[in-house]
């Protein structure tokens, strides 16, 4: 038996309940991992609320780090005793021990501790596919401007640093002066407090009226219309989340009128759909973290049993950087 956080119906943070569950042996292509730390992400809120529905009862959570306890038939890249970390479907990381598919579980380099590993996999792999794979049709070159919303969050702070390492001029948005200063301290070239400034007007001012080549947006409904206004002709609107709610339907014809714009809705799990792709992306992430070019800022830690409060703080936008759940 092991402790786990389950929901029996979609709803608010109060639906997150600490329970005891049975953990068995891994089958073919699976591993059993004992967690040392668990990552908290906004997708966990989507699963809890039902924006992304789950079959009940459900254990949520998409990333963690720990030690491999058992390996199923056919798994060759992991062995018992390996330090490991993952961002992976199906949900289920909010627990002490789990059996799960091995495909997206990666060996964790010795230079990276368990808490960092748990805090960086989903967020860091997301930043990797955004900056390295989700690019405008005209490409990205050193000195190009990009706009990144929610830049003081877990993905955002990684993206600020990684963009600086790539030579990009990242324009950050955040909801307070403190969060803007945090983004600037982590590599953003400019920061805009969207609560006190018109970010579309400021972007045009910063870019001399040209606009940015790409907008990376995990906010959704509240930022969508103005984000399109920030793009230069042939620019790319890259949506990867819905923190403020889903984007309403829109007429594709408007994209032509605004400069022949491109729109894409990205998800990490398309990018890590194979073992080879997962490992290649993880290797890039491990390298950039181990080199010191990207530091993982763990700003909040909650014991597993305080997960309800963790969700409340995340939804209230009280958190910055990465958040983890700890295990006694």
For residue 138, give both structure tokens. Answer: 């005209």
Burial class, 56, CB count within 10 angstroms (exposed 0-12 / middle 13-18 / buried 19+):
exposed
Residue 328's pLDDT is 76
CA distances (Å), origin 211, targets 6, 69, 82, 205, 278: 45, 51, 47, 9, 33
- 13 DSSP β-pair partners: none
Q: Are 41 and 120 in contact (CB under 8 A)?
A: no
Q: Are 203 and 171 in contact (CB under 8 A)?
A: yes
Spatial CB neighbours of 204, under 8 Å, sequence gap ≥ 6: 210, 211, 230
pLDDT in tens, the chain (328 residues): 899 999 999 999 999 999 999 999 999 999 999 999 999 999 999 999 999 999 999 999 999 999 999 999 999 999 999 999 999 999 999 999 999 999 999 999 999 999 999 999 999 999 999 999 999 999 999 999 999 999 999 999 999 999 999 999 999 999 999 999 999 999 999 999 999 999 999 999 999 999 999 999 999 899 999 999 999 999 999 999 888 888 999 999 999 999 999 999 999 999 999 999 999 999 999 999 999 999 999 999 999 999 999 999 999 989 888 999 999 7
Tell me the CATH architecture of domain 135-265.
3-Layer(aba) Sandwich (3.40)
Q: What is the DSSP letter of 189?
A: S
Exposure letters 5-43 (e unless 16+ CB within 10 A, then b): bbbeebeebebbeeeebebeebeeebbbbbbbbbbbbbb
Give the DSSP H/E element, type plus range, for residue 181: helix 177-185
- 153 DSSP β-pair partners: 321
Q: What angle do CA 212, 217, 223 make, to 5 degrees?
A: 90
Residue 320's pLDDT is 86
How would DSSP label each residue in 109-178?
PTTS-HHHHHHHHHHHHHHHHHHHHS--TT---TT-EEEESSTTBHHHHHHHHHHHHTT-EEEEEESSHH
The segment(s) of the chain belonging to CATH 3.90.180.10 are 2-123+283-326
For residue 308, give both structure tokens. Answer: 């309800």
Q: Are 75 and 102 in contact (CB under 8 A)?
A: yes
For residue 172, give both structure tokens. Answer: 């950050």
Q: Are 44 and 61 in contact (CB under 8 A)?
A: yes
Q: Are 217 and 223 in contact (CB under 8 A)?
A: yes
Fold exhibited by the domain 2-123+283-326: Quinone Oxidoreductase; Chain A, domain 1 (3.90.180)
- 324 DSSP β-pair partners: 39, 301
Ramachandran class of 60: left when φ > 0, alpha when ψ lies in -120 to 50, beta otherwise? beta
Q: What is the DSSP letter of 78?
A: -
């Amino acid at each position: 038996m092991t402790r786990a956080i389950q929901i029996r119906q979609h709803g608010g943070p109060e639906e997150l309940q600490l329970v005891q569950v049975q953990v068995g042996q891994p089958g073919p292509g699976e591993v059993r991992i004992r967690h040392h730390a668990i990552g908290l992400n906004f997708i966990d809120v989507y699963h809890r609320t039902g924006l992304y529905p789950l079959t009940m009862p459900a254990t949520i959570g998409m990333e963690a780090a720990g030690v491999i306890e058992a390996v199923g038939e056919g798994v060759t890249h992991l062995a018992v005793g390996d330090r490991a970390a993952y961002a992976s479907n199906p949900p289920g990381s909010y627990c002490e021990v789990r059996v799960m598919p091995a495909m997206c579980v990666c060996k964790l380099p010795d230079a990276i501790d368990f808490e960092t590993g748990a805090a960086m996999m989903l967020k860091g792999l997301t930043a990797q596919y955004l900056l390295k794979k989700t690019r405008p049709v005209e490409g990205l070159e050193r000195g190009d401007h990009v706009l990144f919303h929610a830049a003081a969050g877990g993905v955002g702070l990684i993206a600020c640093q990684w963009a600086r390492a790539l030579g990009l001029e990242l324009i950050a948005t955040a909801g307070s002066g403190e969060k803007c200063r945090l983004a600037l301290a982590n590599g953003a070239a400019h920061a805009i407090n969207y609560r006190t400034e018109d970010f579309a007007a400021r972007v045009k001012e910063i870019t001399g009226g040209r606009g940015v080549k790409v907008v990376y947006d995990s906010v959704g409904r509240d930022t969508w219309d103005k984000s399109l206004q920030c793009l230069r002709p042939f620019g790319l609107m890259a949506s990867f989340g819905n923190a403020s709610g889903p984007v309403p339907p829109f007429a594709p014809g408007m994209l032509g009128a605004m400069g022949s714009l491109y729109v894409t809705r990205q998800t990490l799990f398309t990018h890590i759909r194979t073992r080879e792709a997962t490992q290649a992306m993880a290797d890039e992430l491990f390298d950039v973290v181990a080199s010191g070019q990207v530091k993982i800022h763990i700003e909040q830690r909650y014991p597993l049993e305080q997960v309800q409060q963790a969700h409340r703080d995340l939804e209230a936008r009280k958190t910055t950087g990465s958040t983890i759940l700890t295990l006694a």
